[in-house]
């Protein structure tokens, strides 16, 4: 255990002296992308951008304006017209030290992870104009490097030149169980089956949409975390970062 801690520390100490990079974390729903991305950002003193939260906030805006519902298709033209009324920003919460998303100056973090938003978000995030607006914002926020972004299209579309790309996956039952525990800890109870169906449906919608579908970038490293602890995942990625840096460009192309 002690040895493991030292190893992480060693890799990290070597890394912080180096130039800042962009880290793209893509993958299926509820694979622990944000947990890993947050831990990485904290360890490296990088900014963390939860791009899923941005699509969720637009979805919340659309539901509040009655432009979409669980059984109501998205009023695409109206939503596009109203998109310039959607102002998003992240702000560090002084109590939790997490980065919360603000929609038009309201902290909407408590509302965007509801089952209703989760069931609708893939339809809203499939709209080209919504994506264009979010991608422009993400590029703006990440332009200084030293940033970890998690999402579905970061390595393929938002930052195709990111120095490190991860593609995360995990067994569906493991994912459903994790999401179930997360909801339960907030006092929200849904059956495992309902959660699993939502995950699978969202994956299908994300994979099959026309605009920037969820797909592994050719140069992304696959990380299946079904049987890995948070610490093991973090250690794996820190090692990757160190390896990447300490190889010359020539060596990297043969790696
Ligand atoms: O990561 P998440 O589950 O909070 O994301 C919510 C939804 O947003 C997800 O179902 C697909 C969409 N999304 C996307 O299309 N592109 C991204 N970069 C991030 C999320």
Q: For ligand 1, atom 2, name the residue with the nearest CA.
A: 52
Mean pLDDT, rounded, for 107-125 = 94
The predicted structure's pLDDT at residue 188: 87
Cα distance between residue 84 and residue 133, in whole Å: 9
Alpha carbons 18 and 144: distance in angstroms, whole number = 15
By most ligand atoms within 8 Å of CB, the mutation choice from 52, 53, 155, 210 for ligand 1 is: 52
Residue nearest to atom 4 of ligand 1 (CA): 52
pLDDT, average across residues 178-197: 91
User: Higher confidence at residue 189 or residue 103?
Assistant: 103
Inform me whether the pLDDT recorded for 253 exceeds 70. no
- Mind listing the pLDDT tens digit for each residue in 215-238? 999 999 999 999 999 999 999 999
Q: Collapsing DSSP states into helix, strand and coil, what is residue 75?
A: coil
The pocket around ligand 1, CB under 6 angstroms, is made up of: 29, 51-52, 55-56, 121-122, 125, 151-154, 202, 206
Domain ranges of the chain: 21-226
Query: What is the predicted pLDDT for the residue at 7?
Result: 56
Alpha helices in 83-191 (DSSP H): 115-125, 128-141, 172-185
Q: Any idea which of 7-16, 51-60, 152-161 has the lowest mean pLDDT? A: 7-16
Across 51-172, where does the E strand assignment appear? 88-92, 99-103, 106-107, 147-151, 164-169
Q: Say if residues 221 and 237 touch (Cβ distance below 8 Å).
A: no
Phi, psi of 149 (to 5 degrees): -120, 140
The mean pLDDT of 48-55, rounded to a whole number, is 97
What stretch of H or E contains 221? strand 221-224
99-103/88-92 β-pairing: antiparallel
Mean pLDDT for the chain overall:
90
Q: Which pair of structure tokens corresponds to residue 102?
A: 């603000």
Which DSSP symbol is given to 31?
S
DSSP 220: P
Enter the pTM of the model. Answer: 0.88
CATH code for the part of the protein at 21-226: 3.40.50.300
**pLDDT tens-digit readout, 86-107:** 999 999 999 988 899 999 999 9
Give the ligand 1 atom nearest the CA of 154: 18
pLDDT at 244: 78
- Residue 202 to residue 118: CA distance in whole angstroms: 8
Identify the three-state secondary structure at position 87: coil
Q: Judge contact between 198 and 118, C-beta under 8 A.
A: yes
Which residues contact residue 147 at a Cβ distance below 8 angstroms, ignoring those fewer than 6 apart? 20, 22, 23, 41, 46, 47, 48, 49, 141
Going 151 to 201 to 188 to 170, the CA torsion angle's sign is negative
**Residue 158: count of CB within 10 angstroms of its CB:** 25
Tell me the mean pLDDT in the region 147-154.
97
Q: How far is the CA of 52 from the centre of ligand 1 (A)?
A: 4
Compute the distance between CA of residue 52 and CA of residue 46 in angstroms, rounded to an integer.
18
- Crossing angle of helices 51-64 and 128-141, in 10° steps, is 140
């Amino acid at each position: 255990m002690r040895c493991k801690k030292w190893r992480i520390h060693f890799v990290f100490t070597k890394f912080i002296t180096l130039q800042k990079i962009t880290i793209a974390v893509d993958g299926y729903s509820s694979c622990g992308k944000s947990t890993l991305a947050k831990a990485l950002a904290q360890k490296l003193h990088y900014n963390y951008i939860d791009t899923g939260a941005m699509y969720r906030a637009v979805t919340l805006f659309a539901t509040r304006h009655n432009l979409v519902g669980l059984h109501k298709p998205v009023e695409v033209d109206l939503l596009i017209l109203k998109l310039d009324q959607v102002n998003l920003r992240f702000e560090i919460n002084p109590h939790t030290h997490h980065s919360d998303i603000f929609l038009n100056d309201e902290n909407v973090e408590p509302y965007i992870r509801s089952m209703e938003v989760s069931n609708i978000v893939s339809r809203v995030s499939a709209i080209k104009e919504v994506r264009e607006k979010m991608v422009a914002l993400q590029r703006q926020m990440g332009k200084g490097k030293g940033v970890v972004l998690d999402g579905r299209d970061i390595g393929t579309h938002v930052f195709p030149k990111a120095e490190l790309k991860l593609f995360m996956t995990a067994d569906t039952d493991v994912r459903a169980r994790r999401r179930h525990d997360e909801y339960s800890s907030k006092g929200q109870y849904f059956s495992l089956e309902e959660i699993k169906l939502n995950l699978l449906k969202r994956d299908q919608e994300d994979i099959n949409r026309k605009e920037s579908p969820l797909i592994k970038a050719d140069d992304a490293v696959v990380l299946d975390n079904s049987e890995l602890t948070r610490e093991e995942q973090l250690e794996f990625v820190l090692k990757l970062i160190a390896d990447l840096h300490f190889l010359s460009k020539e060596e990297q192309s043969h790696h």
